[in-house]
Amino acid sequence: MTDERRLLEGIGVSPRVGFGTGRWIGESRAETENPTTDEVDPAVEQSRYESAREVAHDSIDRDRKRALERIGENEASVFEAHREFLTDPQLTDAIETAIDDGEPAPRAVKSAFADPIEQFETMDGPMAERADDLRDVRDRLVRTLEGTDNVALESLPSGTVVLAERLTPSETARLDPERVAGFITQTGGRTAHTAIFARSLGIPAVVGIEAELAALDGEPLLVDGEAGTVIVNPTRQEQRMATAGVAQTVRSEPAETRDGQEIEVAANVGTLADLEPAREHGADGIGLFRSEFLFLERTDPPDEASQRTAYRQALEAFPNGRVIFRTLDVGGDKPISYLDMPAEGNPFLGERGIRRSLEQDRDLFEQQLRALCQAGGAVGDDGGTLSIMFPMITTVEECEAALSVLADVLEGLSETGTPAARPDVGVMIETPSAALLAAELADRVDFLSIGTNDLTQYVMAAARENERVAGLHDPLHPPVLRLLEGVVADAHEQNAWVGMCGEMAGEPRYTPLLVGLGFDELSMSAVSIPEVKDRVSGIDTAEAEELAEHLLECHTRGEVTAALERWSAGVQEGT
């Protein structure tokens, strides 16, 4: 270790800045060679391999659940692919053949994965990054077979900057953004799952650093995930600037622009365990309660009483705020084993969201609405404002049908004298059809909430999980921006408010644009709330509106990105 200040350059993949102490975790990799074994019993090794595969399957399910709760549905879908790797005949046949030929199980696994990993690495663009997914599955198997433990990434000391040759998706998903100040890897790219997880968790990250990172173990490091740089032994002034950037003051009060425009900043949550972190980070309320998490990882659906209890807890957590529950949104990338969900060629264009709730899941839909309205009635004035929104709306008829079901539920509760609250009602704007029908939908409900992840997918005809078209899955493409502007304008004309609960809402660099477009509410992962609130407080609404008007005139994503960067640089120079 030296006190020499050095600058390392790589690829910034998460627009955050962090400062902490480096910790090399390269030893966690299952890369070591197995010693030569003279006597191998193939039957024993096959049994060991099958047991390891079962353990790996269970651990993938746990990581998938963790990603669903902490990061989001789109990101968690990577673990579906990991499960498929476990049963891929190209891999399983190669492993079993190697074992039959006398190889010990760990060596057979490493050998079988070697060629596919190398094949992906020789490809260009995002496909090359799929090699990390294969490594992730390989390492799970090998660690189990060799009896080695992985680094406890969930409990690293506060202020740790993780150093590694690479991080797999499951390792990144286990990082605690409250403890980890950032991570640096020698390999990786902006579209890799590891990078996507880092952005969703709000962890500063720089990849592609061409340096011996193990030598930085114990060194003070400043990670600038926007500039793509790492400063070894930064000055005290640089440390203070970095610390100020990541240790935002939590604001319990609503955020206001410089000219007094209030913007509601809420949290996206998946489980009851997420409520307290949302409160601690200063959320004004819950902008998206993903109710499907109550239905996942079970063998049968939750009953009405247990749902009512969960919804009541969420309302009580934000007595002065708004709590928006999205009704059961399954299908697409969220299958549920106990529901009749036949395989579809393209599930994102099939039976999902409100389509199922109005048809085969009608009983569950009515039960859920009863539980929600009763929870609102039970908390009364001591709880937050009960709000319900319907997912995957594409027609006015679907909206009216869902409202009719809600009206019947409320009437039934009234007839039995059951205390119930009449909720505010909204719809998700996730499809081009819903965006183009914004005025008609807003005329029938209280609010609209835009899910930019799905909306971008459908507008750009680019599947969220397909890395070959990752460049198209960006909300800064002009057609997406123009739809956002149209939805906000149409909704406001009908006196409905508009929120956003997609990944775009939690990116501080987009906050001026979203304020300029006229959004009333932004909902995001809890870790992003302090920084977004801080960003709101520095915005002048008129200037933000000028920025939005300028960006809406751009013809390409490159023009939009360049203009946004110029505006941000100008603001920073003026502050």
**Boundary of a domain, candidates 146, 175, 205:** 146
Largest CA distance in the chain: 79
- List the beta strands (DSSP E) in 327-453: 385-390, 424-429, 447-450
Do 155 and 290 have their domain in common? no
Looking at residue 308, what is its pLDDT? 96
Other C-beta atoms lying within 10 Å of the C-beta of residue 168: 26
Structure tokens at 453: 């992840």
Structure tokens at 94: 């190669």
**Single-letter amino acid code for the residue at 415:** E
pLDDT above 70: percentage of residues in the chain: 90
Do 162 and 202 share a domain, yes or no?
A: yes
Q: Which tokens go with 408?
A: 């019947």
For residue 26, tell me if it sits in a domain.
Answer: no
- 31 located within any domain: no
CB 38 within 8 A of CB 230: no
Instruction: Name the one residue in this structure whose structure tokens are 């039976």.
Output: 351
From the list 532, 534, 528, the residue with the least C-alpha distance to 177 is: 528
Instruction: Examine the pLDDT at 389 and tell me if it is beyond 70.
Output: yes
- Residue 409 to residues 210, 359, 365: CA-CA distances in angstroms? 61, 16, 10
> In degrees, to the nearest 5, what angle opens at C-alpha 523 toward C-alphas 518 and 525?
145
Domain with 92, as residue range(s), is 42-146
CATH number of the domain encompassing residue 512: 3.20.20.60
Which tokens in the block code for residue 329? Answer: 């949104």
* Domain termination site, one of 90, 120, 146: 146
Supply the pLDDT for residue 575: 45
pLDDT digits (tens, 9 = 90+) for 76-129: 778 888 888 898 999 999 999 999 999 999 999 999 999 988 888 777 655 666
For 521-555, the pLDDT digits (tens) are 999 888 789 889 999 999 999 999 999 999 999 99
Same domain, 167 and 124: no
- Which residue in the list 373, 399, 501, 554 is annotated as catalytic? 501
Residue 464 within a domain = yes
Structurally, the chain folds into a number of domains equal to 3
| Residues 346 and 215 reside in one and the same domain | no
Exposed, middle or buried, 169 (CB in 10 Å: 0-12/13-18/19+)? buried
Residue type, position 544, single letter: A
Judge if 199 and 262 occupy the same domain.
no
Q: Tell me which DSSP letter residue 556 carries.
A: S
Indicate if the pLDDT at residue 164 is higher than 70.
Answer: yes
Let me know whether 321 and 430 are in one domain: yes
> What's the average model confidence in pLDDT over 303-310?
95
List 82, 193, 473, 477, catalytic entry: 193
The CATH number of whichever domain residue 183 belongs to comes to 3.50.30.10
Catalytic annotation present for 399: no
Cβ neighbours of 380 (radius 10 Å): 10
8 Å CB contact between 516 and 546: yes
pLDDT of 27 over the 60 cut: no
Sign of the C-alpha dihedral, residues 360, 364, 366, 372?
negative
Instruction: Please indicate, yes or no, if residue 169 is contained in any of the structural domains.
Output: yes
500 within a domain of the structure (yes/no) = yes
Q: Residue 333: pLDDT band by 50, 70, 90 thresholds?
A: low
What is the reported pLDDT for 490?
Answer: 98
> Within a domain: residue 35?
no
Q: Of the residues 216, 246, 276, which one is the last residue of a structural domain? A: 246
C-alpha separations of 493 from 236, 261, 424, 488 in Å: 51, 18, 18, 9
Q: Does 32 reside within a domain?
A: no
Q: Residue 60: give its domain's CATH number.
A: 1.10.274.10
Q: What is the separation, in whole angstroms, between the first and last Cα of the chain?
A: 36
Are 262 and 324 contained in the same domain? yes
Nearest CA among 90, 88, 104, 117 for reference residue 29: 117
φ/ψ of 289, rounded to 5, equals -100, 110
The whole-angstrom separation of Cα 333 and Cα 292 is 12
Contacts of 420 (CB under 8 A, 6+ apart): 370, 373, 374, 376, 377, 410, 413, 414
Q: What is the pLDDT of residue 283?
A: 95
- Residue 259: which H helix or E strand, with range? none
What's the chain's length in residues? 575
Rounded Cα distance, 256 and 261, in Å:
5
Provide the H-helix boundaries in 499-556.
511-517, 529-537, 541-552
Q: What is the DSSP letter of 503?
A: G
Spatial separation of the C-alpha atoms in residues 182 and 209, rounded to whole Å: 14
DSSP β-ladder status, 424-429 and 447-450: parallel
Are 255 and 265 within 8 A, CB to CB? Answer: yes
Condensed to tens digits (0 to 9), the pLDDT of residues 462-518 reads 876 665 677 788 899 999 999 999 999 999 999 999 999 988 998 888 999 999 999
pLDDT at 126: 57
Amino acid at 242: A
Q: Indicate if 267 and 237 belong to the same structural domain.
A: no
**Is the domain of 442 the same as that of 547?**
yes
Same domain, 394 and 483: yes
501 a catalytic residue: yes
> Which residues partner with 161 through β-bridges?
22, 182
What is the mean pLDDT of the segment spanning 342-371? Answer: 87
Scan for tokens 């030569």, then name that residue. Answer: 36
Residue-level pLDDT at 31: 47
